[in-house]
Structure 1
């Protein structure tokens, strides 16, 4: 490779992460005309989704239940860039029992040791505990990605899919031409930034109030009777036009969410999902599941999620009847092999601790639905489920002992008994917007937490990750479902 001379000298070549000296040397050798004046490392090798959330855009990180080599390297580089951009040299802990988490934690530690001068931030000179990098495994909590979501950002991702802060509505009927692709970014859209964590009912109320304000301002614009009125109109027109676009955009999104929620009967389905996740009522839940998944109005994907949650919850129940549910799925033309794959990926034999006993139920006041008066057709759904991550983080900030559940790689930094003031969490196998909401709530209580993952999952992308991760392995823990397994796994 030879760098041909540009018309003007290149001020700098910018890289988004640490560049090995060998690469810089190679670049210099290729720059025969000495066109490049400077090389910079900017440490931005990740996608910043929200102020407290980042993604590495790796949709599938495993094969045969082991790291894909490129995904492992990419994850190490991305997390290192996050730590450098935040100027953190953390204690590194990982989930005990997860080889994937241990391997990634070890690679990050080796990279920090190798480039120790870059990480010499002296952030705990005042005696405070060093920051913490916590490497977790999605296989410890397969429930959270399967649940339907009712906060704005999470709901949009579940039903419409957010990719790089964009929503593609090009295949949706009755969507205006200008709104076939929408940007949903809190940095560019104040309404979205203020309401991404609001629940469905609150969003409906807020968009109604915004629309009423827009209508009032639109009426004011019609009253242009003097030179002063004209001047005010010209000055306020850009803001008025921006407000018009915001109202139209979010009405478009809300309309799609409302239509899909009603068409797919998501209120009833979600209520049952929450009950399976939070309550052990086997017999009653089994009958409701059988009734719903046999209903042709329920999509096969929604039916599969119910069966998957049931299989996870009651895997070791004496009367577990997953096979009969899978037969209904098979009869409907679905993919029953998803459920045994999920059990192999994140069944009882994999998970550390008891996932379902750790799930809290919120106040009875917040049970499932609370109709907001004055807003026809929009319900405010309060979920009962709390992600495992939230409980883990609360334990950390309470100063509870982390060993041996979360052993440290760099033990020389561990003697601090006070809880860390800053925590970066990385989830191998993908984070979710429900977990981002939990982090947002904790940060509002005064903590400093950043959440990241190999990707940001909705239920379908998570299922695809599970199928990819288990492809080709021999299933050892789902013998009772063998006739529903893929032939590649038998």
Structure 2
């Protein structure tokens, strides 16, 4: 159930089984899929000396290289391949696709290989971006479509749903599981995606999903972002979520070009729990503890730097040269984290975020009222109480009211992180077998026998790093049910409001029409 390891294994198999110098050819989406699990230096170790995009390749012949294509099986990609096979630039062609190929697509490729340069065609099911062990995204640019009724823009709506179904299918093919499927009753888009996913898994490609049965079937739960519109709007105070909220993370990369005077080699940095030990240890730490840990990292580095200054013998010099790559890597890492924390501190001070966050948390956790601006009114229309399933504010259910009162009486450890996303409540209900059938119906005649041991929650409209943290902490603390969280994008407040604005524009124009 560790997604980034599965994708990494796919890419590793793809590259290591082909000996010699290689060019890796990707599309705009598989670039993201590969980049979050493999660094450039690791690709180089696999003898990948060039990376190109399938739709913007040079025409220079390179017959000494073997071409490894890793593409989504879209009609555009198939047509690009058809044209490139007609005039082959490379000595060999190895074709890998991130999802299920249609028979017609295989036939097009076979007919196009007149020069017989294609050595293999395989499906490697990695049609999703595994940004963390238990968190994946589809990076959908038209994310606002989940708020638009399908009748307004049928082609875009169908493309949106098709991409989601493809991504979910690839996750379960990678996990070698076929789930029972449930969805949020109040969401038409969640229902549609659940139905189409079930149709693919149980009818169209039933043979492909015919894996060895487990004692309890895994669960796929499809929910709608509008069930919890609060979580994406809150100021964040844990490391990963805070970086995304204040600076921005895309495919585990942070753009620092607009942050002060940053050296060229630090203008885009990788923030990956798999490649950065300090980030892995501090990914969910709050801002205060993070500051202390950064200081300790700087102190440790200064001690190493001082010892390297005391080079007096040939042996000292030899040790320094041997350790220099590690020393330089450590220097880059220290610089990266200090730069980000310094920038975030500046933003917190400039925007008075500690004061703002206290108010936000009070509104979110203690039932305050939002200001009645036009955008907020549209949000209420999109995600008001009649559109939601869960008890978002913990004030419908007597048990939740009691919990909130107890929390108020005992006080909280940190007033800036009182909020728990609605997902926490849903996960708790799943693990305790209390997720109501009336609110989250099953698709077809497939019901859950016992409590699921493996659950994939897919959020149409996007996930947040606060929710990813909730999932990771649950998985670390529990030996029972394991969760994976996925969504159409990874949201921060800016992206969520932008999607809301785009949906509002389309809604207005459709009314005018």
Query: Quick one: distance in 2 between partners of 1:9 and 1:177?
Result: 36
Query: Is 1:94 aligned to residue 203 of structure 2?
Result: no
Residue aligning to 1:450: 484
Contact residue 274 and residue 385 of structure 1 kept, 8 A: yes
Structure 2 residue corresponding to 1:213, chosen from 292, 300, 303: 300
Structure 2 residue corresponding to 1:347, chosen from 377, 384, 402: 384
Structure 1 residue corresponding to 2:240, chosen from 145, 153, 160: 153
Instruction: Evaluate the alpha carbon distance shift between residue 145 and residue 59 of structure 1 in structure 2; reply closer, same or farther with a 3 A threshold.
Output: farther
Deviation of 1:255 (Å): 0.5
Residue aligning to 2:195: 106
Q: SS of the counterpart of 2:459?
A: strand
Deviation of 1:107 (Å): 0.8
Query: Quick one: distance in 1 between partners of 2:205 and 2:100?
Result: 9
Name the Cα RMSD after superposition: 2.2
Structure 1 residue corresponding to 2:429, chosen from 388, 395, 407: 395
Residue aligning to 2:149: 66
1:306-329 C-alpha deviation (Å, 9 max, x unpaired): xxxx33xxxxxxxxxx44xx4xxx
Query: Quick one: distance in 1 between partners of 2:211 and 2:201?
Result: 12
Residue aligning to 1:440: 472
Moved more, 162-171 or 262-271: 162-171
Q: How does 1:180-219 map to 2 (within 5 A)?
A: 180-219=267-306
Instruction: Evaluate the alpha carbon distance shift between residue 8 and residue 56 of structure 1 in structure 2; reply closer, same or farther with a 3 A threshold.
Output: closer
Residue aligning to 2:112: 30
Q: SS of the counterpart of 2:280?
A: helix
Contact residue 55 and residue 453 of structure 1 kept, 8 A: yes
1:420-440 C-alpha deviation (Å, 9 max, x unpaired): 000011000100000001001
Instruction: Evaluate the alpha carbon distance shift between residue 61 and residue 177 of structure 1 in structure 2; reply closer, same or farther with a 3 A threshold.
Output: closer
Deviation of 1:354 (Å): 3.2
1:433-468 C-alpha deviation (Å, 9 max, x unpaired): 000010011101224111010000000100111222
Contact residue 43 and residue 81 of structure 1 kept, 8 A: yes
* Number of positions where the alignment pairs a residue of Structure 1 with one of Structure 2: 412
1:126-167 C-alpha deviation (Å, 9 max, x unpaired): xx2111011000011000001010010100000101111111
Gaps of 5+ in 1: 283-309, 312-321, 327-336, 370-381, 475-485
Deviation of 1:49 (Å): 0.9
Deviation of 1:228 (Å): 2.8
- Give the TM-score of the pair, scaled to structure 2: 0.76
Query: Quick one: distance in 2 between partners of 1:6 and 1:353?
Result: 56
Instruction: Evaluate the alpha carbon distance shift between residue 430 and residue 225 of structure 1 in structure 2; reply closer, same or farther with a 3 A threshold.
Output: same
Structure 2 residue corresponding to 1:258, chosen from 345, 352, 360: 345
Query: Quick one: distance in 2 between partners of 1:72 and 1:188?
Result: 33
- Give the TM-score of the pair, scaled to structure 1: 0.79
Structure 2 residue corresponding to 1:122, chosen from 205, 212, 215: 212
Instruction: Evaluate the alpha carbon distance shift between residue 8 and residue 458 of structure 1 in structure 2; reply closer, same or farther with a 3 A threshold.
Output: closer
Q: SS of the counterpart of 1:43?
A: coil
Query: Is 1:77 aligned to residue 166 of structure 2?
Result: yes
Query: Quick one: distance in 2 between partners of 1:411 and 1:231?
Result: 69
Deviation of 1:119 (Å): 1.2
Contact residue 471 and residue 488 of structure 1 kept, 8 A: no
Deviation of 1:472 (Å): 3.6
Deviation of 1:120 (Å): 1.6
Query: Quick one: distance in 2 between partners of 1:487 and 1:116?
Result: 39
Instruction: Evaluate the alpha carbon distance shift between residue 473 and residue 31 of structure 1 in structure 2; reply closer, same or farther with a 3 A threshold.
Output: same
1:184-219 C-alpha deviation (Å, 9 max, x unpaired): 112222211221111111111111111110011111
Query: Quick one: distance in 2 between partners of 1:183 and 1:167?
Result: 6
Query: Quick one: distance in 2 between partners of 1:159 and 1:7?
Result: 45
Instruction: Evaluate the alpha carbon distance shift between residue 178 and residue 415 of structure 1 in structure 2; reply closer, same or farther with a 3 A threshold.
Output: closer
Query: Quick one: distance in 1 between partners of 2:126 and 2:452?
Result: 24
Contact residue 129 and residue 419 of structure 1 kept, 8 A: yes
Contact residue 92 and residue 117 of structure 2 kept, 8 A: yes
Residue aligning to 2:221: 134
Deviation of 1:263 (Å): 0.6
Q: SS of the counterpart of 2:86?
A: coil
Q: SS of the counterpart of 1:39?
A: strand
Moved more, 397-406 or 429-438: 397-406
Residue aligning to 1:317: none
Query: Quick one: distance in 1 between partners of 2:87 and 2:259?
Result: 48
Residue aligning to 1:46: 128
Instruction: Evaluate the alpha carbon distance shift between residue 489 and residue 351 of structure 1 in structure 2; reply closer, same or farther with a 3 A threshold.
Output: farther
Residue aligning to 1:57: 139
Query: Quick one: distance in 2 between partners of 1:197 and 1:427?
Result: 21
Instruction: Evaluate the alpha carbon distance shift between residue 110 and residue 385 of structure 1 in structure 2; reply closer, same or farther with a 3 A threshold.
Output: same
Q: How does 1:396-411 map to 2 (within 5 A)?
A: 396-411=430-445
Runs of 4+ more than 4 Å apart: 358-365, 486-490
Query: Quick one: distance in 2 between partners of 1:8 and 1:171?
Result: 40
Contact residue 217 and residue 448 of structure 2 kept, 8 A: no
Query: Is 1:431 aligned to residue 459 of structure 2?
Result: no
Residue aligning to 1:366: 412
Structure 1 residue corresponding to 2:324, chosen from 237, 248, 273: 237
Deviation of 1:272 (Å): 0.6
Instruction: Evaluate the alpha carbon distance shift between residue 250 and residue 415 of structure 1 in structure 2; reply closer, same or farther with a 3 A threshold.
Output: closer
Contact residue 214 and residue 244 of structure 1 kept, 8 A: yes
Contact residue 426 and residue 435 of structure 2 kept, 8 A: no
